[in-house]
Amino acid sequence: MYFIRPFGLTGGVGGTLLLAPHASVRVIEEKMIRFLTVLAGDKAQYFKKCELNASLRAAEIEPEKGVKFLQHTGILESASAHEEENSPFSKCALISDLGAATAALQSSLIADGVNISTLCTPDSIPNEAFQDRTLFVVALENYSSQVIRDIYDSCSNLNNIGFIQAYYFRHEFKIDGLFMPSIGSPCHFCHFERWRSRERRSFGNNKSSWHQVVELLSNHEKTIPPSIPLTDCDRHFSAQILRRRVQQLVGIPINRVHLDSFISAISADVIRCNVSSEPIPHWHSCSCTKGVW
For residue 123, the model assigns a pLDDT of 93
Average pLDDT across each block of 10 residues of the chain; the chain has 293 residues. List them in order.
84 80 87 90 74 92 94 82 63 94 93 92 96 97 95 95 96 95 92 88 75 83 91 96 92 70 90 93 82 66
For residue 46, the model assigns a pLDDT of 77
Helices (H), the chain: 30-39, 49-58, 63-72, 79-85, 100-111, 145-154, 188-203, 210-219, 232-250
Using alpha carbons, select from 95, 158, 163 the residue that is nearest to residue 131.
158
Instruction: Tally the C-alpha atoms within 13 A of residue 67's C-alpha that lie toward its C-beta.
Output: 18
As beta bridge partners, residue 27 has 16
For residue 221, the model assigns a pLDDT of 84
178: CB partners within 8 A, 6+ apart: 162, 163, 164, 185, 249, 259, 262, 263
Using alpha carbons, select from 19, 114, 11 the residue that is nearest to residue 73.
19
> Model pTM?
0.80
Angle ∠(291,94,83) on CA atoms, nearest 5: 80
For residue 268, the model assigns a pLDDT of 97
As beta bridge partners, residue 224 has 143
**What domains does the chain contain, in order, with CATH numbers?**
2-82 (3.90.930), 89-290 (3.40.50.720)
Using alpha carbons, select from 285, 282, 67 the residue that is nearest to residue 191.
282
